[in-house]
């Protein structure tokens, strides 16, 4: 197999100047680290397991997609990429070479992932990767091809029991691990297997650390090699610290109020005549029901008189009504 794409390599380097300074775009990274080596792409796509339509998730300058389209013009080749300047150059090359490739400018945190037989992943760990995996696991009979450069992607993929390692292909790019891996998936359906499976769903964890139990949210959590990072509150936890997993319906009225209040940001609390300000971090359910603010201060629920967000009173302990003393802002 030979490819005419390598002659565009230097134009990728020049185009880097147009890339945004969003850290996930890796602007300024040497091209050899940002992209899969052109000869390695040929090595990978000539493997007998590679078949059907190809989607590169985070396609960069699109050269895996362009190479695939050049070699297999009868198959679909699609790239999804967040950086517009990279997408535009990919489209331009596709036009120049009259290739049947498609480039979608989108953020993989939310975008649809088109159906294909083979997906390509050279992507860092984090919540976008977790979101990609949560979509892919519902697709049936697909191949996932991965390369890595930081020693984290393969570890992360090992956590996904639905991925079955089918082949390892030696590659030579100097900035990459010396093998590309091909995984096969029959599709997981809807069963759950690890904490990362709860990301992008509304679940709540009771987390026991140092004899204190507090509530964390599953939404947006992501997995690293040996820990999980939550968004609400921004804390890293170990899977073994989760003692219970609950839906919103299983929370008490106070807990429901506090998890929604935590998403609002800055609040002011008056308790025992003292005033506190900050964002709500831990909602502590035992030994004593209390809250912890971003300042590190802990306040027992019993002592709280009021909670405000700006001018809006969200909680007033002196009010007794059938709905309780909770008044979240109307948008919620
Ligand atoms: C390491 S590069 C890989 C490029 C290409 N797949 C290759 O192998 O040559 C990862 C690419 O993912 C893109 N990316 C990062 N976050 C993204 C997101 N949320 N949605 C879409 N693309 C993203 C980056 O801009 C970058 O171009």
Rounded mean pLDDT, 199-228:
90
Sequence ranges of the chain with CATH classification 3.40.50.150:
5-185
Given a cut of 70, is residue 193 above it in pLDDT? Answer: no
Ligand 1 binding pocket mutation candidate from 123, 127, 152 (most atoms within 8 A of CB):
123
Q: Provide the phi-psi class of 64: left if phi over 0, else alpha when psi is between -120 and 50, else beta.
A: alpha
Q: What is the pTM of this model?
A: 0.64
Rounded mean pLDDT, 109-118:
94
User: What is the position in ligand 1's atom list of the atom closest to the CA of 25?
Assistant: 25
Given a cut of 60, is residue 190 above it in pLDDT? Answer: no
Residue nearest atom 7 of ligand 1, based on CA coordinates: 35
Given a cut of 70, is residue 104 above it in pLDDT? Answer: yes
SS3 content of the chain, % helix, strand, coil (to 5): 30, 30, 45
Cα–Cα distance, 234 to 221 (Å, whole number): 9
**CB of 328 within 8 A of CB of 298?**
no
Ligand 1 binding pocket mutation candidate from 58, 80, 128, 180 (most atoms within 8 A of CB):
58
Given a cut of 80, is residue 194 above it in pLDDT? Answer: no
Cα–Cα distance, 165 to 144 (Å, whole number): 9
Q: Residue 298: name the closest of 212, 209, 208 by CA.
A: 212
Place of tokens 């079955």: 164
Give 331's pLDDT tier (boundaries 50, 70, 90).
low
Ligand 1 pocket member 128 (CB < 6 A): yes
Which has more pLDDT, 160 or 4?
160
- Whole-number Cα distances in Å, 248 to 98, 205, 219: 52, 11, 12
Given a cut of 60, is residue 191 above it in pLDDT? Answer: no
Given a cut of 50, is residue 76 above it in pLDDT? Answer: yes
50 CA → ligand 1 middle, Å: 21
**CB of 309 within 8 A of CB of 298?**
no
The CATH topology of domain 5-185 is: Rossmann fold (3.40.50)
Ligand 1 binding pocket mutation candidate from 15, 42, 81 (most atoms within 8 A of CB):
81
Place of tokens 């008189």: 305
69 CA → ligand 1 middle, Å: 19
How many alpha carbons fall within 13 Å on the CB side of residue 22? 10
């Amino acid at each position: 197999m030979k490819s005419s794409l390598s002659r565009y390599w230097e134009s990728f380097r020049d185009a880097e100047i147009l890339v945004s300074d969003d850290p996930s775009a890796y602007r300024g990274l040497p091209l050899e680290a940002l992209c899969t080596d052109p000869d390695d792409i040929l090595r990978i796509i000539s493997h007998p397991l590679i078949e059907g339509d190809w989607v590169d998730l985070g396609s960069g300058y699109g050269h895996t997609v362009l190479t695939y389209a050049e070699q297999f013009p009868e198959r679909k080749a699609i790239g999804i990429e967040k950086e517009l300047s990279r997408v535009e150059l990919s489209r331009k090359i596709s036009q120049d070479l009259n290739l049947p490739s498609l480039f979608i400018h989108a953020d993989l945190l939310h975008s649809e992932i088109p159906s294909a037989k083979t997906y390509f992943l050279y992507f860092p760990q984090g919540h976008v990767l977790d979101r990609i995996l949560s979509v892919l696991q519902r697709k049936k009979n697909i191949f996932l091809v991965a390369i890595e450069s930081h020693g984290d992607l393969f570890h992360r993929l090992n956590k996904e029991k639905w991925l079955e390692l089918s082949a390892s292909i030696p590659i030579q790019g100097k900035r990459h691990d010396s093998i590309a891996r091909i995984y096969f998936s029959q599709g997981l359906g809807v069963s759950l297997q690890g904490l990362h499976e709860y990301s992008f769903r509304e679940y709540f964890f009771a987390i026991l650390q140092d004899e204190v139990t507090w509530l964390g949210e599953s939404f947006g959590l992501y997995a690293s090699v040996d820990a999980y990072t939550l968004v609400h509150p921004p804390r890293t936890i170990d899977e073994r610290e989760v003692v219970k997993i609950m839906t919103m319906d299983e929370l008490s009225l106070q807990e429901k109020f506090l998890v929604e209040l935590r998403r609002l940001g800055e609040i002011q609390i008056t308790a025992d005549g003292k005033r506190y300000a900050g964002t709500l971090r831990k909602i502590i359910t035992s030994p004593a029901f209390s809250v912890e603010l971003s300042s590190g201060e802990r306040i027992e629920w019993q002592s709280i008189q009021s909670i405000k967000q700006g001018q809006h009173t969200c909680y007033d302990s002196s009010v007794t009504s059938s709905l309780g003393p909770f008044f979240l802002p109307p948008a919620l």
